[in-house]
């Protein structure tokens, strides 16, 4: 089942630069998308979300972009900080309150 895919298992970025994490989905019934951050031995922490009626949502250093025609979303973190180093998951919901997760991207922000 590959309804939500994160094709980059890891990403390394210099502190202060932009981090761009990507996510693709196949199910056109998904109408809500979320990004979670996860540290080892902890549960996923909600970061930011976007409804399918929007193409952008911004919250501080985090911006999520949604391209419905391409079935693609991305998370931009500007500026990146060493504390942002974690695994980032995108997740999608089809109004059934059941999230489908991608495989995660490990972000490493170097000082």
Give the footprint of other proteins on this chain (CB under 8 A). 32, 34, 36, 41-46, 49, 89, 91, 93, 95-104
Residue 89 CB, nearest distance to other proteins (Å)?
Answer: 7
Helix (H, G, I), strand (E, B) or coil at 83: helix
Q: How many CB atoms lie within 10 A of CB 65?
A: 17
> Could you tell me if residue 95 is left (phi over 0), alpha (psi between -120 and 50 degrees) or otherwise beta?
left
Give the nearer residue to other proteins in terms of CB position, either 58 or 110: 58
Give the nearer residue to other proteins in terms of CB position, either 69 or 97: 97
Give the nearer residue to other proteins in terms of CB position, either 80 or 105: 105
């Amino acid at each position: 089942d590959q309804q939500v895919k994160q094709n980059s298992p890891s990403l390394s970025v210099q502190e202060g630069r932009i981090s761009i994490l990507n996510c693709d989905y196949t199910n056109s019934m998904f109408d809500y998308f979320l990004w979670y951050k996860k540290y080892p031995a902890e549960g996923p922490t909600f970061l930011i979300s976007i409804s399918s009626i929007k193409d952008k949502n911004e919250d501080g250093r985090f911006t999520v972009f949604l391209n419905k025609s391409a079935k693609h979303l991305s998370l931009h973190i500007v500026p990146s900080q060493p504390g942002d180093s974690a695994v980032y998951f995108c997740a999608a919901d089809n109004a059934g309150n059941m999230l489908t997760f991608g495989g995660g991207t490990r972000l490493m922000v170097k000082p």
